[in-house]
Structure 1
Protein backbone atom coordinates (compact mmCIF):
# COMPACT_ATOMS: atom_id res chain seq x y z
CA UNK A 1 0.00 0.00 0.00
CA UNK A 2 2.97 2.34 0.28
CA UNK A 3 2.96 2.94 -3.49
CA UNK A 4 -0.74 3.77 -3.47
CA UNK A 5 -0.41 5.96 -0.42
CA UNK A 6 2.43 7.94 -1.98
CA UNK A 7 0.38 8.39 -5.16
CA UNK A 8 -2.89 9.30 -3.43
CA UNK A 9 -3.56 13.05 -3.41
CA UNK A 10 -3.93 14.06 0.26
CA UNK A 11 -4.92 17.62 -0.64
CA UNK A 12 -7.29 19.31 -3.06
CA UNK A 13 -4.32 21.04 -4.65
CA UNK A 14 -2.64 17.72 -5.50
CA UNK A 15 -5.90 16.37 -6.90
CA UNK A 16 -6.32 19.44 -9.13
CA UNK A 17 -2.73 19.08 -10.35
CA UNK A 18 -3.13 15.38 -11.23
CA UNK A 19 -6.43 16.11 -12.98
CA UNK A 20 -4.76 18.79 -15.09
CA UNK A 21 -2.05 16.34 -16.10
CA UNK A 22 -4.74 13.79 -16.95
CA UNK A 23 -6.38 16.35 -19.23
CA UNK A 24 -3.29 16.27 -21.48
CA UNK A 25 -3.39 12.49 -21.95
CA UNK A 26 -5.01 12.74 -25.44
CA UNK A 27 -1.79 14.32 -26.72
CA UNK A 28 0.19 11.25 -25.66
CA UNK A 29 -2.46 8.83 -26.95
CA UNK A 30 -2.56 10.59 -30.32
CA UNK A 31 1.04 9.52 -30.97
CA UNK A 32 -0.45 6.17 -31.98
CA UNK A 33 -1.49 7.76 -35.29
CA UNK A 34 2.12 8.34 -36.29
CA UNK A 35 3.72 5.26 -34.71
CA UNK A 36 3.03 1.90 -36.31
CA UNK A 37 4.45 -0.19 -33.46
CA UNK A 38 2.16 -1.42 -30.67
CA UNK A 39 3.53 -4.36 -28.71
CA UNK A 40 0.29 -5.96 -27.58
CA UNK A 41 -2.38 -8.30 -28.92
CA UNK A 42 -2.37 -9.00 -32.65
CA UNK A 43 0.70 -6.82 -33.18
CA UNK A 44 2.78 -8.18 -30.30
CA UNK A 45 6.39 -8.80 -31.28
CA UNK A 46 9.21 -10.97 -30.01
CA UNK A 47 11.24 -8.95 -27.54
CA UNK A 48 13.32 -9.48 -24.43
CA UNK A 49 11.08 -6.84 -22.83
CA UNK A 50 7.87 -8.81 -23.31
CA UNK A 51 5.88 -9.85 -20.26
CA UNK A 52 3.63 -12.96 -20.37
CA UNK A 53 0.12 -11.86 -21.35
CA UNK A 54 -1.90 -12.84 -18.29
CA UNK A 55 0.68 -11.60 -15.81
CA UNK A 56 1.14 -8.33 -17.67
CA UNK A 57 -2.58 -7.72 -18.02
CA UNK A 58 -3.44 -8.37 -14.39
CA UNK A 59 -0.56 -6.34 -12.96
CA UNK A 60 -1.36 -3.51 -15.40
CA UNK A 61 -5.11 -3.37 -14.72
CA UNK A 62 -5.53 -4.38 -11.07
CA UNK A 63 -3.84 -1.27 -9.59
CA UNK A 64 -6.73 0.80 -10.94
CA UNK A 65 -9.57 -0.58 -8.83
CA UNK A 66 -7.23 -1.25 -5.90
CA UNK A 67 -6.22 2.41 -5.91
CA UNK A 68 -9.85 3.49 -6.04
CA UNK A 69 -10.79 1.24 -3.13
CA UNK A 70 -7.88 2.49 -1.05
CA UNK A 71 -8.58 6.17 -1.70
CA UNK A 72 -12.29 5.71 -1.04
CA UNK A 73 -11.49 4.15 2.34
CA UNK A 74 -8.90 6.70 3.48
CA UNK A 75 -9.45 10.09 1.85
CA UNK A 76 -12.91 10.51 3.37
CA UNK A 77 -11.40 10.17 6.84
CA UNK A 78 -8.63 12.61 6.01
CA UNK A 79 -11.23 15.14 4.88
CA UNK A 80 -13.44 14.60 7.93
CA UNK A 81 -16.30 13.00 5.97
CA UNK A 82 -18.07 10.50 8.17
CA UNK A 83 -20.79 9.26 5.81
CA UNK A 84 -20.72 9.38 2.02
CA UNK A 85 -23.96 9.59 0.10
CA UNK A 86 -25.15 6.34 -1.46
CA UNK A 87 -24.55 7.71 -4.97
CA UNK A 88 -20.82 7.87 -4.29
CA UNK A 89 -20.79 4.27 -3.13
CA UNK A 90 -22.83 3.06 -6.12
CA UNK A 91 -20.53 4.74 -8.62
CA UNK A 92 -17.44 3.40 -6.87
CA UNK A 93 -19.05 -0.04 -6.93
CA UNK A 94 -19.63 0.18 -10.68
CA UNK A 95 -15.96 0.98 -11.21
CA UNK A 96 -14.93 -2.04 -9.12
CA UNK A 97 -17.44 -4.31 -10.90
CA UNK A 98 -16.05 -3.37 -14.30
CA UNK A 99 -12.42 -3.81 -13.34
CA UNK A 100 -12.99 -6.97 -11.32
CA UNK A 101 -14.00 -8.43 -14.66
CA UNK A 102 -11.55 -6.58 -16.88
CA UNK A 103 -8.50 -6.98 -14.65
CA UNK A 104 -9.08 -10.42 -13.11
CA UNK A 105 -11.77 -12.51 -14.79
CA UNK A 106 -10.96 -11.46 -18.36
CA UNK A 107 -7.33 -12.72 -18.41
CA UNK A 108 -8.24 -15.85 -16.44
CA UNK A 109 -11.02 -16.79 -18.87
CA UNK A 110 -8.98 -16.11 -22.01
CA UNK A 111 -7.83 -19.36 -23.68
CA UNK A 112 -4.52 -17.61 -24.42
CA UNK A 113 -3.07 -14.12 -24.32
CA UNK A 114 -0.29 -12.64 -26.41
CA UNK A 115 2.69 -11.18 -24.56
CA UNK A 116 2.69 -7.47 -23.74
CA UNK A 117 5.74 -5.30 -24.21
CA UNK A 118 7.03 -3.62 -21.06
CA UNK A 119 6.48 -0.17 -22.58
CA UNK A 120 2.81 -0.91 -23.29
CA UNK A 121 2.47 -2.40 -19.80
CA UNK A 122 3.87 0.82 -18.30
CA UNK A 123 1.54 2.98 -20.37
CA UNK A 124 -1.46 0.91 -19.28
CA UNK A 125 -0.43 1.05 -15.63
CA UNK A 126 -0.03 4.83 -15.83
CA UNK A 127 -3.51 5.12 -17.35
CA UNK A 128 -4.98 3.10 -14.49
CA UNK A 129 -3.25 5.07 -11.75
CA UNK A 130 -4.15 8.48 -13.15
CA UNK A 131 -7.73 7.52 -13.92
CA UNK A 132 -8.43 5.77 -10.63
CA UNK A 133 -6.85 8.56 -8.60
CA UNK A 134 -9.00 11.22 -10.28
CA UNK A 135 -12.25 9.21 -10.14
CA UNK A 136 -11.71 8.04 -6.55
CA UNK A 137 -10.68 11.46 -5.22
CA UNK A 138 -13.79 13.02 -6.75
CA UNK A 139 -16.05 10.29 -5.33
CA UNK A 140 -14.37 10.23 -1.92
CA UNK A 141 -14.23 13.94 -1.13
CA UNK A 142 -13.91 16.46 -3.94
CA UNK A 143 -17.25 15.93 -5.67
CA UNK A 144 -20.76 15.89 -4.18
CA UNK A 145 -20.86 13.87 -0.97
CA UNK A 146 -24.32 14.63 0.44
CA UNK A 147 -27.88 14.18 -0.85
CA UNK A 148 -28.31 17.94 -1.27
CA UNK A 149 -25.08 18.22 -3.26
CA UNK A 150 -26.13 15.34 -5.50
CA UNK A 151 -29.50 16.95 -6.15
CA UNK A 152 -27.67 20.08 -7.28
CA UNK A 153 -25.17 18.05 -9.31
CA UNK A 154 -27.88 16.27 -11.31
CA UNK A 155 -30.51 19.02 -11.33
CA UNK A 156 -33.22 19.29 -12.57
CA UNK A 157 -33.89 15.58 -13.24
CA UNK A 158 -31.51 14.14 -10.69
CA UNK A 159 -33.25 10.79 -10.14
CA UNK A 160 -33.97 10.22 -13.82
CA UNK A 161 -30.45 11.13 -14.94
CA UNK A 162 -28.83 8.88 -12.35
CA UNK A 163 -31.10 5.92 -13.16
CA UNK A 164 -30.71 6.29 -16.93
CA UNK A 165 -26.94 6.64 -16.54
CA UNK A 166 -26.75 3.42 -14.51
CA UNK A 167 -28.93 1.63 -17.09
CA UNK A 168 -26.66 2.77 -19.93
CA UNK A 169 -23.63 1.61 -17.93
CA UNK A 170 -25.07 -1.88 -17.45
CA UNK A 171 -26.14 -2.08 -21.09
CA UNK A 172 -22.57 -1.33 -22.15
CA UNK A 173 -21.16 -3.73 -19.55
CA UNK A 174 -23.38 -6.61 -20.71
CA UNK A 175 -22.52 -5.93 -24.36
CA UNK A 176 -18.84 -5.84 -23.39
CA UNK A 177 -19.12 -9.27 -21.76
CA UNK A 178 -20.94 -10.65 -24.79
CA UNK A 179 -18.48 -9.46 -27.43
CA UNK A 180 -15.45 -10.40 -25.34
CA UNK A 181 -16.84 -13.91 -25.07
CA UNK A 182 -17.34 -14.09 -28.83
CA UNK A 183 -13.62 -13.40 -29.26
CA UNK A 184 -12.83 -16.12 -26.73
CA UNK A 185 -15.19 -18.49 -28.54
CA UNK A 186 -13.09 -18.23 -31.70
CA UNK A 187 -10.13 -19.78 -29.90
CA UNK A 188 -12.29 -22.25 -28.02
CA UNK A 189 -13.70 -23.53 -31.32
CA UNK A 190 -10.18 -23.80 -32.75
CA UNK A 191 -9.03 -25.73 -29.67
CA UNK A 192 -11.94 -28.14 -30.11
CA UNK A 193 -11.18 -28.55 -33.82
CA UNK A 194 -7.54 -29.33 -33.12
CA UNK A 195 -8.48 -31.74 -30.33
CA UNK A 196 -10.77 -33.67 -32.69
CA UNK A 197 -8.10 -33.75 -35.39
CA UNK A 198 -5.44 -34.93 -32.96
CA UNK A 199 -7.76 -37.70 -31.77
CA UNK A 200 -8.60 -38.78 -35.31
CA UNK A 201 -4.97 -38.70 -36.50
CA UNK A 202 -3.47 -40.06 -33.31
CA UNK A 203 -1.07 -37.12 -33.08
CA UNK A 204 -0.14 -34.87 -30.15
CA UNK A 205 -2.54 -32.01 -29.48
CA UNK A 206 -1.29 -28.75 -30.93
CA UNK A 207 -1.69 -25.82 -28.56
CA UNK A 208 -3.64 -22.79 -29.77
CA UNK A 209 -1.37 -19.80 -29.26
CA UNK A 210 -2.59 -17.33 -31.85
CA UNK A 211 -5.61 -17.93 -34.06
CA UNK A 212 -7.58 -15.19 -35.76
CA UNK A 213 -10.72 -14.99 -37.82
CA UNK A 214 -13.35 -12.34 -38.38
CA UNK A 215 -16.06 -12.61 -35.69
CA UNK A 216 -19.64 -12.71 -36.92
CA UNK A 217 -21.94 -12.52 -33.89
CA UNK A 218 -23.65 -9.47 -32.42
CA UNK A 219 -22.29 -6.09 -33.44
CA UNK A 220 -19.33 -7.79 -35.12
CA UNK A 221 -21.60 -7.97 -38.15
CA UNK A 222 -21.29 -4.21 -38.47
CA UNK A 223 -17.91 -3.32 -36.97
CA UNK A 224 -14.66 -5.01 -36.07
CA UNK A 225 -14.22 -3.54 -32.59
CA UNK A 226 -17.66 -3.44 -30.98
CA UNK A 227 -16.06 -4.31 -27.62
CA UNK A 228 -14.36 -0.91 -27.78
CA UNK A 229 -17.55 0.88 -28.79
CA UNK A 230 -19.71 -0.63 -26.04
CA UNK A 231 -17.06 0.16 -23.44
CA UNK A 232 -17.34 3.81 -24.47
CA UNK A 233 -21.11 3.47 -24.07
CA UNK A 234 -20.57 1.93 -20.64
CA UNK A 235 -18.44 4.79 -19.32
CA UNK A 236 -20.66 7.40 -20.94
CA UNK A 237 -23.42 5.97 -18.75
CA UNK A 238 -21.13 6.32 -15.75
CA UNK A 239 -20.42 9.93 -16.76
CA UNK A 240 -24.14 10.63 -17.10
CA UNK A 241 -24.84 9.20 -13.64
CA UNK A 242 -22.00 11.23 -12.11
CA UNK A 243 -23.30 14.43 -13.70
CA UNK A 244 -22.17 16.29 -16.80
CA UNK A 245 -19.92 18.57 -14.72
CA UNK A 246 -17.88 15.62 -13.38
CA UNK A 247 -14.49 16.35 -14.93
CA UNK A 248 -12.82 13.02 -13.99
CA UNK A 249 -15.65 10.97 -15.52
CA UNK A 250 -15.63 13.13 -18.65
CA UNK A 251 -11.88 12.72 -19.04
CA UNK A 252 -12.23 8.96 -18.53
CA UNK A 253 -14.52 8.76 -21.58
CA UNK A 254 -12.39 11.15 -23.64
CA UNK A 255 -9.13 9.39 -22.79
CA UNK A 256 -10.56 5.94 -23.52
CA UNK A 257 -11.66 7.13 -26.96
CA UNK A 258 -8.26 8.69 -27.70
CA UNK A 259 -6.48 5.54 -26.51
CA UNK A 260 -8.65 3.00 -28.33
CA UNK A 261 -9.82 4.74 -31.49
CA UNK A 262 -6.40 4.69 -33.24
CA UNK A 263 -6.01 1.01 -32.36
CA UNK A 264 -9.40 0.22 -33.90
CA UNK A 265 -8.66 2.09 -37.13
CA UNK A 266 -5.24 0.43 -37.46
CA UNK A 267 -6.81 -2.85 -36.41
CA UNK A 268 -9.16 -2.69 -39.38
CA UNK A 269 -6.15 -2.20 -41.63
CA UNK A 270 -4.65 -5.34 -40.04
CA UNK A 271 -7.84 -7.31 -40.77
CA UNK A 272 -7.87 -6.13 -44.39
CA UNK A 273 -4.22 -7.08 -44.86
CA UNK A 274 -4.72 -10.51 -43.28
CA UNK A 275 -8.12 -11.52 -44.63
CA UNK A 276 -8.66 -9.23 -47.62
CA UNK A 277 -11.12 -6.42 -48.24
CA UNK A 278 -13.77 -8.82 -49.53
CA UNK A 279 -13.82 -10.79 -46.26
CA UNK A 280 -13.92 -7.66 -44.11
CA UNK A 281 -16.70 -6.36 -46.30
CA UNK A 282 -18.51 -3.18 -45.33
CA UNK A 283 -17.75 -3.50 -41.64
CA UNK A 284 -16.72 -0.29 -39.93
CA UNK A 285 -13.77 -0.17 -37.56
CA UNK A 286 -15.53 0.95 -34.38
CA UNK A 287 -18.30 3.51 -34.98
CA UNK A 288 -21.18 2.33 -37.21
CA UNK A 289 -21.84 4.71 -40.08
CA UNK A 290 -18.72 6.77 -39.36
CA UNK A 291 -15.46 4.83 -39.45
Structure 2
Protein backbone atom coordinates (compact mmCIF):
# COMPACT_ATOMS: atom_id res chain seq x y z
CA UNK A 1 0.00 0.00 0.00
CA UNK A 2 2.85 2.38 0.81
CA UNK A 3 4.40 1.69 -2.60
CA UNK A 4 1.05 2.46 -4.29
CA UNK A 5 0.68 5.76 -2.40
CA UNK A 6 4.22 6.76 -3.35
CA UNK A 7 3.32 6.44 -7.04
CA UNK A 8 -0.36 7.43 -7.21
CA UNK A 9 -2.66 9.87 -5.52
CA UNK A 10 -4.82 8.32 -2.75
CA UNK A 11 -8.30 7.16 -3.78
CA UNK A 12 -10.58 10.17 -4.25
CA UNK A 13 -13.11 11.22 -1.60
CA UNK A 14 -15.82 11.04 -4.28
CA UNK A 15 -17.89 7.85 -4.13
CA UNK A 16 -18.95 8.52 -7.72
CA UNK A 17 -15.38 8.56 -9.05
CA UNK A 18 -14.46 5.52 -6.96
CA UNK A 19 -17.44 3.59 -8.34
CA UNK A 20 -16.74 4.69 -11.90
CA UNK A 21 -13.11 3.56 -11.55
CA UNK A 22 -14.30 0.02 -10.89
CA UNK A 23 -17.12 0.14 -13.43
CA UNK A 24 -15.02 1.40 -16.34
CA UNK A 25 -12.27 -1.17 -15.79
CA UNK A 26 -14.74 -4.04 -15.51
CA UNK A 27 -16.91 -2.92 -18.45
CA UNK A 28 -13.96 -2.45 -20.82
CA UNK A 29 -12.49 -5.80 -19.81
CA UNK A 30 -15.87 -7.46 -20.40
CA UNK A 31 -16.15 -5.77 -23.82
CA UNK A 32 -12.71 -7.13 -24.70
CA UNK A 33 -13.84 -10.63 -23.70
CA UNK A 34 -16.96 -10.15 -25.81
CA UNK A 35 -14.75 -9.34 -28.81
CA UNK A 36 -12.92 -12.63 -28.31
CA UNK A 37 -16.28 -14.42 -28.15
CA UNK A 38 -17.40 -12.83 -31.42
CA UNK A 39 -19.71 -10.14 -30.04
CA UNK A 40 -18.30 -7.01 -31.63
CA UNK A 41 -19.03 -3.33 -31.20
CA UNK A 42 -21.26 -2.20 -34.02
CA UNK A 43 -18.84 0.16 -35.72
CA UNK A 44 -16.36 -2.66 -36.35
CA UNK A 45 -15.77 -3.90 -39.88
CA UNK A 46 -16.48 -7.41 -38.68
CA UNK A 47 -19.22 -6.85 -36.11
CA UNK A 48 -21.94 -8.46 -38.24
CA UNK A 49 -19.91 -11.38 -39.57
CA UNK A 50 -22.28 -14.31 -39.79
CA UNK A 51 -25.26 -12.28 -38.61
CA UNK A 52 -28.44 -11.44 -40.47
CA UNK A 53 -28.84 -8.08 -42.14
CA UNK A 54 -29.68 -5.11 -39.95
CA UNK A 55 -33.25 -4.05 -39.52
CA UNK A 56 -33.86 -1.52 -42.27
CA UNK A 57 -35.90 0.59 -39.88
CA UNK A 58 -32.88 1.43 -37.71
CA UNK A 59 -31.58 4.94 -38.27
CA UNK A 60 -28.22 5.11 -40.03
CA UNK A 61 -25.69 7.87 -40.52
CA UNK A 62 -22.54 7.97 -42.61
CA UNK A 63 -19.51 6.37 -40.99
CA UNK A 64 -17.66 9.69 -41.06
CA UNK A 65 -20.50 11.50 -39.29
CA UNK A 66 -20.83 8.62 -36.84
CA UNK A 67 -17.14 8.67 -35.94
CA UNK A 68 -17.27 12.43 -35.43
CA UNK A 69 -20.22 11.87 -33.13
CA UNK A 70 -18.14 9.39 -31.13
CA UNK A 71 -15.22 11.71 -30.45
CA UNK A 72 -16.32 15.35 -30.64
CA UNK A 73 -18.19 15.59 -27.29
CA UNK A 74 -15.11 14.18 -25.52
CA UNK A 75 -12.93 16.65 -27.45
CA UNK A 76 -15.15 19.52 -26.28
CA UNK A 77 -14.95 18.37 -22.66
CA UNK A 78 -11.15 18.15 -22.84
CA UNK A 79 -10.99 21.66 -24.30
CA UNK A 80 -13.33 23.00 -21.58
CA UNK A 81 -11.16 21.39 -18.87
CA UNK A 82 -8.31 23.76 -19.65
CA UNK A 83 -10.39 26.56 -18.14
CA UNK A 84 -11.05 24.54 -14.96
CA UNK A 85 -7.86 22.65 -14.16
CA UNK A 86 -4.92 24.37 -12.50
CA UNK A 87 -1.34 23.24 -12.01
CA UNK A 88 1.19 21.75 -14.41
CA UNK A 89 0.11 18.12 -14.06
CA UNK A 90 -3.58 18.90 -14.51
CA UNK A 91 -2.95 21.08 -17.54
CA UNK A 92 -0.73 18.40 -19.09
CA UNK A 93 -3.56 15.90 -18.65
CA UNK A 94 -6.10 18.26 -20.23
CA UNK A 95 -3.76 18.93 -23.15
CA UNK A 96 -3.08 15.21 -23.64
CA UNK A 97 -6.80 14.40 -23.77
CA UNK A 98 -7.42 17.36 -26.07
CA UNK A 99 -4.67 16.24 -28.45
CA UNK A 100 -5.88 12.62 -28.34
CA UNK A 101 -9.42 13.46 -29.42
CA UNK A 102 -8.32 16.20 -31.82
CA UNK A 103 -6.16 13.59 -33.58
CA UNK A 104 -9.13 11.24 -33.74
CA UNK A 105 -11.37 13.87 -35.32
CA UNK A 106 -8.57 14.88 -37.70
CA UNK A 107 -8.17 11.27 -38.81
CA UNK A 108 -11.92 10.95 -39.29
CA UNK A 109 -11.97 14.01 -41.55
CA UNK A 110 -8.73 13.58 -43.49
CA UNK A 111 -7.17 10.12 -43.02
CA UNK A 112 -9.65 7.28 -42.66
CA UNK A 113 -11.55 5.78 -45.57
CA UNK A 114 -15.05 4.43 -45.13
CA UNK A 115 -17.10 1.77 -46.85
CA UNK A 116 -20.40 1.76 -44.98
CA UNK A 117 -22.76 3.36 -42.51
CA UNK A 118 -23.13 3.39 -38.74
CA UNK A 119 -26.24 2.71 -36.71
CA UNK A 120 -27.24 5.84 -34.81
CA UNK A 121 -28.51 3.87 -31.82
CA UNK A 122 -25.05 2.29 -31.53
CA UNK A 123 -23.08 5.53 -32.01
CA UNK A 124 -24.88 7.48 -29.28
CA UNK A 125 -24.02 5.23 -26.28
CA UNK A 126 -20.41 4.89 -27.47
CA UNK A 127 -20.18 8.67 -27.75
CA UNK A 128 -21.62 9.05 -24.25
CA UNK A 129 -19.06 6.55 -22.96
CA UNK A 130 -16.12 8.50 -24.42
CA UNK A 131 -17.56 11.73 -23.05
CA UNK A 132 -18.26 10.36 -19.57
CA UNK A 133 -14.85 8.71 -19.26
CA UNK A 134 -13.10 11.92 -20.30
CA UNK A 135 -15.13 13.99 -17.82
CA UNK A 136 -14.47 11.49 -15.03
CA UNK A 137 -10.74 11.50 -15.68
CA UNK A 138 -10.70 15.30 -15.63
CA UNK A 139 -12.83 15.43 -12.48
CA UNK A 140 -10.62 12.86 -10.73
CA UNK A 141 -7.64 15.09 -11.52
CA UNK A 142 -9.52 18.14 -10.27
CA UNK A 143 -10.05 16.39 -6.93
CA UNK A 144 -6.26 16.11 -6.48
CA UNK A 145 -5.88 19.88 -6.24
CA UNK A 146 -4.52 20.65 -2.79
CA UNK A 147 -3.52 17.00 -2.23
CA UNK A 148 0.24 16.35 -1.79
CA UNK A 149 1.93 15.11 -4.96
CA UNK A 150 2.97 11.44 -5.14
CA UNK A 151 6.54 10.90 -3.96
CA UNK A 152 7.49 9.52 -7.38
CA UNK A 153 6.78 12.06 -10.12
CA UNK A 154 6.01 10.25 -13.39
CA UNK A 155 4.32 13.03 -15.37
CA UNK A 156 7.28 13.76 -17.65
CA UNK A 157 7.80 10.06 -18.41
CA UNK A 158 4.07 10.03 -19.12
CA UNK A 159 4.39 12.89 -21.59
CA UNK A 160 7.12 10.99 -23.48
CA UNK A 161 5.06 7.78 -23.62
CA UNK A 162 1.95 9.70 -24.65
CA UNK A 163 3.77 11.36 -27.55
CA UNK A 164 5.31 8.05 -28.66
CA UNK A 165 1.87 6.46 -28.54
CA UNK A 166 0.02 9.17 -30.42
CA UNK A 167 2.68 9.46 -33.16
CA UNK A 168 2.91 5.67 -33.60
CA UNK A 169 -0.87 5.34 -33.67
CA UNK A 170 -1.23 8.13 -36.24
CA UNK A 171 1.53 6.69 -38.45
CA UNK A 172 -0.07 3.26 -38.61
CA UNK A 173 -3.50 4.75 -39.24
CA UNK A 174 -1.96 6.55 -42.23
CA UNK A 175 -0.58 3.23 -43.49
CA UNK A 176 -4.03 1.67 -43.16
CA UNK A 177 -5.62 4.53 -45.09
CA UNK A 178 -3.28 3.94 -48.04
CA UNK A 179 -4.25 0.29 -48.45
CA UNK A 180 -7.19 1.10 -50.69
CA UNK A 181 -7.59 3.53 -53.54
CA UNK A 182 -10.58 5.84 -53.49
CA UNK A 183 -13.72 3.84 -54.22
CA UNK A 184 -12.03 0.50 -53.51
CA UNK A 185 -13.94 -1.34 -50.77
CA UNK A 186 -11.84 -4.49 -50.70
CA UNK A 187 -9.87 -5.28 -47.55
CA UNK A 188 -6.16 -6.03 -47.83
CA UNK A 189 -3.45 -7.28 -45.50
CA UNK A 190 -1.71 -4.20 -44.01
CA UNK A 191 2.00 -3.75 -44.67
CA UNK A 192 4.75 -1.41 -43.48
CA UNK A 193 5.69 -0.17 -40.02
CA UNK A 194 5.07 -2.83 -37.38
CA UNK A 195 2.40 -4.58 -39.46
CA UNK A 196 4.99 -7.22 -40.30
CA UNK A 197 5.04 -8.20 -36.63
CA UNK A 198 1.50 -7.53 -35.37
CA UNK A 199 -1.81 -6.95 -37.12
CA UNK A 200 -2.81 -4.14 -34.73
CA UNK A 201 0.22 -1.91 -34.09
CA UNK A 202 -2.16 1.07 -33.94
CA UNK A 203 -3.76 -0.55 -30.87
CA UNK A 204 -0.33 -1.21 -29.36
CA UNK A 205 0.57 2.47 -29.67
CA UNK A 206 -2.84 3.50 -28.34
CA UNK A 207 -2.10 1.45 -25.23
CA UNK A 208 1.31 3.12 -24.92
CA UNK A 209 -0.41 6.49 -25.22
CA UNK A 210 -2.92 5.72 -22.48
CA UNK A 211 -0.18 4.40 -20.22
CA UNK A 212 1.39 7.81 -20.75
CA UNK A 213 -1.90 9.47 -19.77
CA UNK A 214 -1.98 7.37 -16.58
CA UNK A 215 1.53 8.45 -15.66
CA UNK A 216 0.70 12.10 -16.33
CA UNK A 217 -2.38 11.82 -14.13
CA UNK A 218 -1.23 9.32 -11.48
CA UNK A 219 -4.85 8.93 -10.31
CA UNK A 220 -6.77 5.72 -9.61
CA UNK A 221 -9.33 6.54 -12.29
CA UNK A 222 -6.73 7.01 -15.04
CA UNK A 223 -5.06 3.73 -14.09
CA UNK A 224 -8.42 1.92 -14.03
CA UNK A 225 -9.38 3.30 -17.44
CA UNK A 226 -6.01 2.35 -18.94
CA UNK A 227 -6.18 -1.15 -17.45
CA UNK A 228 -9.63 -1.66 -18.93
CA UNK A 229 -8.45 -0.28 -22.27
CA UNK A 230 -5.56 -2.76 -22.33
CA UNK A 231 -7.95 -5.70 -21.81
CA UNK A 232 -10.37 -4.35 -24.41
CA UNK A 233 -7.70 -3.84 -27.08
CA UNK A 234 -6.22 -7.25 -26.35
CA UNK A 235 -9.62 -8.77 -27.11
CA UNK A 236 -10.21 -6.59 -30.15
CA UNK A 237 -6.77 -7.31 -31.62
CA UNK A 238 -7.35 -11.04 -31.10
CA UNK A 239 -10.66 -10.75 -32.98
CA UNK A 240 -9.00 -8.71 -35.72
CA UNK A 241 -6.28 -11.31 -36.28
CA UNK A 242 -8.91 -14.07 -36.35
CA UNK A 243 -10.87 -12.08 -38.95
CA UNK A 244 -7.83 -11.68 -41.21
CA UNK A 245 -7.04 -15.38 -40.87
CA UNK A 246 -10.59 -16.19 -41.99
CA UNK A 247 -10.50 -13.82 -44.97
CA UNK A 248 -6.97 -14.31 -46.33
CA UNK A 249 -5.42 -17.72 -46.93
CA UNK A 250 -2.01 -16.08 -47.35
CA UNK A 251 -2.13 -14.21 -44.03
CA UNK A 252 1.30 -14.78 -42.41
CA UNK A 253 0.81 -16.96 -39.33
CA UNK A 254 3.85 -15.46 -37.59
CA UNK A 255 2.16 -12.06 -37.39
CA UNK A 256 0.79 -11.72 -33.86
CA UNK A 257 -2.27 -9.77 -32.72
CA UNK A 258 -0.85 -7.00 -30.51
CA UNK A 259 2.57 -7.64 -28.96
CA UNK A 260 5.45 -8.62 -31.30
CA UNK A 261 6.55 -12.27 -30.96
CA UNK A 262 4.31 -12.78 -27.89
CA UNK A 263 0.58 -12.16 -28.43
- Please give the TM-score of this superposition, normalised by the length of structure 1: 0.74
Q: CA deviation at 1:72?
A: 5.5
2-structure distance, mates of 1:235, 1:249: 8
Greater relative contact order, per chain length (Cα 8 Å cut-off, separation 6+): 2
When residues 247 and 269 of structure 1 are mapped into structure 2, their CA distance, relative to the original with a 3 A threshold, is: same
Answer yes or no: is 1:286 the counterpart of 2:258: yes
Measure the CA separation in 2 of the matches of 1:113 and 1:88: 39
Gaps of 5+ in 2: 1-12
**Counterpart in the other structure of 1:64:** 74
Size of the alignment, in residue pairs?
A: 242
SS in 1 for 2:254: coil
1:265 aligned partner = 238
Pairs within 5 Å for 1:37-48 = 37-43=40-46, 45=48, 47=54, 48=56
Larger % of helix: which?
A: 1
Asked if structure 2 preserves the Cα contact closer than 8 Å seen for 1:41 and 1:114, the reply is no
Q: Which segments of 5 or more consecutive residues in structure 1 lack a partner in the other structure?
A: 1-10, 77-83, 192-206
Q: Say if 1:14 and 1:69 are closer, same or farther in 2 by CA, change over 3 A.
A: farther
Q: Deviations over 1:227-263 (max 9, x none)?
A: 00110011111212222xx112112212212322222
RMSD: 2.4
Query: Could you give the per-residue CA deviations for residues 30-84 of structure 1, whole angstroms, max 9, x where no partner exists?
Result: 333334454323225553334320111111111222233445545x6xxxxxxx1
**Structure of higher CA gyration radius:** 1
Q: Which of 115, 138, 141 is the equivalent residue of 2:140?
A: 138
Q: In structure 2, do the counterparts of structure 1 residues 177 and 229 end up closer, same or farther at CA, with 3 Å as the change threshold?
A: same
Work out whether 1:242 is the aligned partner of 2:198: no
Aligned residue number for residue 166 of structure 1:
159
| Correspondent of 1:12 among 11, 14, 22 | 14
Label 1:285 to 1:119 Cα distance change in 2 as closer, same or farther (>3 A): farther
Contact 2:21 2:225 in 1 (8 A): no
What SS does the corresponding residue of 1:42 show, helix, strand or coil?
coil
What is residue 195 of structure 1 aligned with on the other side?
Answer: none
